[in-house]
Amino acid sequence: MKLLITGGCGFIGSNFIHYWLNKYPEDKIVNLDVLTYAGNLENLRDIAGNPNYKFVKGDIGDYKLVNKIVKGIDLIVHFAAESHVDRSIKNSADFIKTNVEGTRVLLDAAKSASRRNGNIRFHHISTDEVFGALGSDDLPFNEKTAYNPRSPYSASKAAADHLVRAYFHTHKLPITISNCSNNYGPCQYPEKLMPLFITNLIEGKKVPVYGNGKNIRDWIYVDDHNAGVDAIIKKGRLGETYCLGGGNELVNIDITKKILKLMDKGEEMIEYVEDRKGHDWRYAIDYTKARKELGWEPKVDFTAGLKKTIDWYKNNTNWWRKLKVKNKKL
């Protein structure tokens, strides 16, 4: 099988490429990535010489390029996205361009290629943030939860989800969608909570906690997420959405203290900062459908996954120090 992975130099995309080639070494992968600030060729340096792997630098919004690449492709796994909520609050233009228009270009290319080469399977990676926010006593998100995006980022991802479904119903394009909770693990850009806190502590800096730190998120180790996507591709019903959660619903301040403890740091390293605009209170995912239909569930214990993540950043200081030098705000 030949796959097109969009955004394969990013955090989840690069981990997915490693996961897939390790499990299916005979498959061929084309990685299309424009290499924005969050895309890093270093993430895939170890497989650069693999004859079944090819990197193409380019924009998913470039229809001519995308239309050329999809020839002979069997499966598109669409990771490419602008994903940082804070950046979307400051300027939403790139989020609309990449997450909405870029997805439309990919869908049109897949539709056109399907007419020539048979159907191209299209899997779209989305987020739990499209569902909005939960109250303390609300049931977790599931596949039937109404969309209620509350940031420009989540609104752009919601629009992309709707487009993907529309191409299934209108054009019979064989699609699936996954909405996942917060991923963590190696190679995550150090603006996100875990890598930012871990790398700050390595450098002797304090960790910035939004508001009172009581916001709640569900966390999934990146390879548990990748295994879920794999299960959807192999077993999922076309036209369906599957929610992938980690079963780790945790308060931000508790995660902060856990990181501090694992890194032998005291709570004096916490710095409370002004809360994010429109900061969603709580996310949680019910992955019952994926468990029952696909036989999938997360396997990595949170503490074990967090230790692995901390160790990776300790052992790869050159990787993240370069990124922090480029982005003085980190």
Consecutive H or E run containing 291: helix 288-294
Consecutive H or E run containing 306: helix 302-315
The active-site residue out of 33, 82, 128, 280 is: 128
In residues, how long is the chain? Answer: 330
Tokens coding 225 = 């997420």
User: CA of 225: how far to CAs of 22, 124, 267, in Å?
Assistant: 15, 13, 31
CA distance linking residue 103 with residue 44, whole number of Å: 24
Beta strand segments in 47-120, E: 53-57, 75-78
**Could you confirm whether 138 is annotated as catalytic?**
no
The active-site residue out of 19, 153, 167, 313 is: 153
**Could you confirm whether 26 is annotated as catalytic?**
no
**Could you confirm whether 128 is annotated as catalytic?**
yes
Say if residues 258 and 213 touch (Cβ distance below 8 Å).
Answer: no
Say if residues 170 and 207 touch (Cβ distance below 8 Å).
Answer: no
Tokens coding 180 = 């996942």
The closest alpha carbon to 31, from 10, 19, 269, 321, belongs to 10
CA distance linking residue 81 with residue 95, whole number of Å: 7
CA distance linking residue 189 with residue 203, whole number of Å: 16
The active-site residue out of 129, 218, 230, 280 is: 129
Tokens coding 210 = 């939004």
Tokens coding 280 = 């969603």
> Cβ neighbours of residue 22 under 8 Å, at least 6 residues apart?
none
Say if residues 218 and 298 touch (Cβ distance below 8 Å).
Answer: no
CA distance linking residue 29 with residue 87, whole number of Å: 30
Q: Which residues are catalytic?
A: 128-129, 153
